[in-house]
Chains A and B, each alone.
Chain A
């Protein structure tokens, strides 16, 4: 691994920096040119589209403001208090927790199992991979609309299946008990293919010699999987978990066409809660406070995770 990096031409330049004077001159220049040319646009874009909006949201969250004109009614931290006093906020937080749990406990194992099966070369493997990857390509809104028909208690596919067994079909999206469950199923259906592809790519990049060596040493298939393949997949698994959690926290566009967060806020996520209770109600200050809370959760998670689990990458 180390040897390969050293031989890559772009990195040579950097590694050459502490070398003798002759090399240092042009290398330094090169670095500065790159910095001067490439840093400002990136920094500018980052500032304009990331730093400023975050700062603005934090500023707005201290006002009672309906979005018209300039915010003038300063209320300090009251918006945060209002948010924490809203039952729907805690429901949304619970739902985000549920999505993360399902992503980790159902979706990832499913994706990994399928990847282990489909990473081999056999007739139809590619077709199956494409088939499982398809839901991921579909736009979220379209997926939501399709599933709102599938779940429809009068005409939907689910209703037909139910009736086939002679039972009265439930309206899954209309009950506080089942709406979130229905959404969780769609989430798994939509995103497992993406994680499966990540795992397949990783599996195909594995050093086959290690597996062969283990087999020669007399390891069973199970042992190879348990002690060789999965440990080698750890970096990918960590990445996949990272994507799954951040994706769960941001989930919005699947929820809106399916339930709009209802009934009785039972299927809101943090972002749909922000939209329903902040933006649609013209409570920009309140919505901003939710945004800041969500941002804090994401950032805390991202940094902690990077620090603890992805140190080596």
Chain B
């Protein structure tokens, strides 16, 4: 009997302890960042937040990009869902808001939200309500290897038009240099070509008209022409051997290894190539450069128009208020300046761009501030279903298995079919 009461006492004590432990709040934070140097800073920020906010625990979880996209709908509907999730805004965000799986954080960020670049903040709002906060902007353009360009006597600064690019590719090939490396197996690196051409050819009006179904929608002239110009490039065989079998990290590593002259990539590749290069050193700052995506003769888009990402964090339904509080701490001028000074991001908090300390990232920040039309990645803005068709057809044009007209028609058909 005595033993039994002792056991009972122990059990009660244990339960109480458990109760006390669960009174603490855990904020689960799911990210997809693969650059260890950046993750390290994030972790330090999380630990610093925990230190100044006793009783709150920030738990970081990681999923690889593609796996994350595929699992997200299921994750969001589980009881054990993370509180803070990564987002590229766009059509996926729209679906999430409509399904009611996100928290409306408008009231919680009142006042604070003024510190953020309005355009970036707006990407995570729908109908005037905020569902998340941006963390970084990025631009798509050509990153090049100075030595290899010089070897073929190509002047990157002189590549202004699409025809200039085609000429550069020919010169590089003649010099025995692989002109462009691309992660074709992931498909989305190839969709940058098709999409950015569309931005140059038709500008914002063409995209908006296509969304409304005018001028033949995505099967219209602008989008057929994007495919045709892309095919001009493809016909020169500019990519590394076996490019359709390369996943993006492999391709970025290939560039970091100095095996190809250019890559059309998100500006963050500037940093990422070092982490993914075979020697983990990659190309140093003075060996790489950037030029904007070339303009197209007769194109309606402005040369300052940009294609890129607006990435940020969303707060899921039923999260503790500490989740938003942590985000405000994480996306503060201090932390953003710190990330900017490591040249990891183009910041979204006003004034934090002062932290950028190299010419490359400053140039991207400058481009983005001058841009009147920043097109979010098509595969995000058009939603997961149509977006992936854009990726599919871009890869098919690159592989020579589909002509530009059919590609444009396939996108329009998917757009009409809806989800």
Residues on A lying within 8 angstroms of B by beta carbon are: 64-69, 82, 153-154, 170-171, 173-176, 179, 259-260, 262-265, 275, 279-285
Docked complex Cα distance between A67 and B419 (Å): 10
| A264 and B70 contact, CB distance less than 8 A | no
| B242 and A173 contact, CB distance less than 8 A | yes
Docked complex Cα distance between A234 and B396 (Å): 46
Chain A contacts for B101, CB-based, 8 A: 68-69
Q: Which of B71-79, B209-217, B338-346 contacts A (4 or more CB under 8 A)?
A: B71-79
The answer to whether the Cβ of B8 comes within 8 Å of any Cβ in the partner chain is no
Once A68-B73, A280-B70, A281-B384 are accepted as A-B contacts, the answer to whether A264 and B95 lie under 8 Å apart by CB is no
Residue of B whose beta carbon sits closest to that of A285? B419
Residue of A whose beta carbon sits closest to that of B99? A68
Once A69-B100, A82-B417, A174-B245 are accepted as A-B contacts, the answer to whether A282 and B399 lie under 8 Å apart by CB is no
| B384 and A64 contact, CB distance less than 8 A | no
The answer to whether the Cβ of B202 comes within 8 Å of any Cβ in the partner chain is no
| A264 and B76 contact, CB distance less than 8 A | no
| B385 and A264 contact, CB distance less than 8 A | no
| A263 and B70 contact, CB distance less than 8 A | no
Docked complex Cα distance between A282 and B241 (Å): 32
| B96 and A68 contact, CB distance less than 8 A | yes
Q: What number of B residues sit within 8 Å (CB to CB) of A?
A: 36
Q: Knowing that A171-B241, A171-B242, A282-B419 are A-B contacts, what are 18 other residue pairs whose CB atoms are under 8 Å apart, sorted by A's residue number?
A: A64-B418, A64-B419, A68-B77, A68-B95, A68-B99, A174-B184, A174-B241, A176-B399, A176-B401, A263-B395, A264-B395, A264-B402, A275-B70, A280-B70, A280-B384, A281-B388, A284-B73, A285-B419
Contact of A153 among B76, B95, B242, B417 (CB under 8 A): B242
Closest Cβ of chain B to A80, distance in Å, is 13
Chain A contacts for B70, CB-based, 8 A: 275, 279-280
Q: List 15 A-B contacts (CB under 8 A).
A: A64-B419, A66-B95, A66-B385, A68-B77, A69-B101, A82-B417, A170-B242, A171-B242, A174-B245, A260-B185, A262-B395, A280-B388, A281-B384, A282-B385, A283-B385
Chain A contacts for B96, CB-based, 8 A: 68
| B184 and A263 contact, CB distance less than 8 A | yes
Closest Cβ of chain A to B88, distance in Å, is 14
Residues on B lying within 8 angstroms of A by beta carbon are: 66, 69-70, 73-74, 76-77, 92, 95-96, 98-101, 184-185, 187, 241-246, 383-385, 388, 392, 395-396, 399, 401-402, 417-419
Closest Cβ of chain B to A56, distance in Å, is 14
Chain A contacts for B399, CB-based, 8 A: 176, 263-264
Chain A contacts for B184, CB-based, 8 A: 174, 263
Closest Cβ of chain A to B76, distance in Å, is 7
Docked complex Cα distance between A173 and B184 (Å): 12
Docked complex Cα distance between A259 and B101 (Å): 33
Docked complex Cα distance between A68 and B99 (Å): 5
Docked complex Cα distance between A294 and B53 (Å): 53
Closest 6 CB pairs of A and B: A171-B242, A68-B99, A174-B245, A174-B242, A67-B73, A263-B244
Residue of A whose beta carbon sits closest to that of B239? A174
Chain B contacts for A282, CB-based, 8 A: 73, 92, 95, 383-385, 419
Most buried by B among A64, A68, A171, A279: A68
Once A65-B419, A67-B74 are accepted as A-B contacts, the answer to whether A263 and B245 lie under 8 Å apart by CB is yes
Contact of A262 among B76, B185, B383, B388 (CB under 8 A): B185
Residue of B whose beta carbon sits closest to that of A262? B185
Docked complex Cα distance between A205 and B57 (Å): 62
Chain B contacts for A260, CB-based, 8 A: 185
Closest Cβ of chain B to A250, distance in Å, is 19
| B396 and A173 contact, CB distance less than 8 A | no
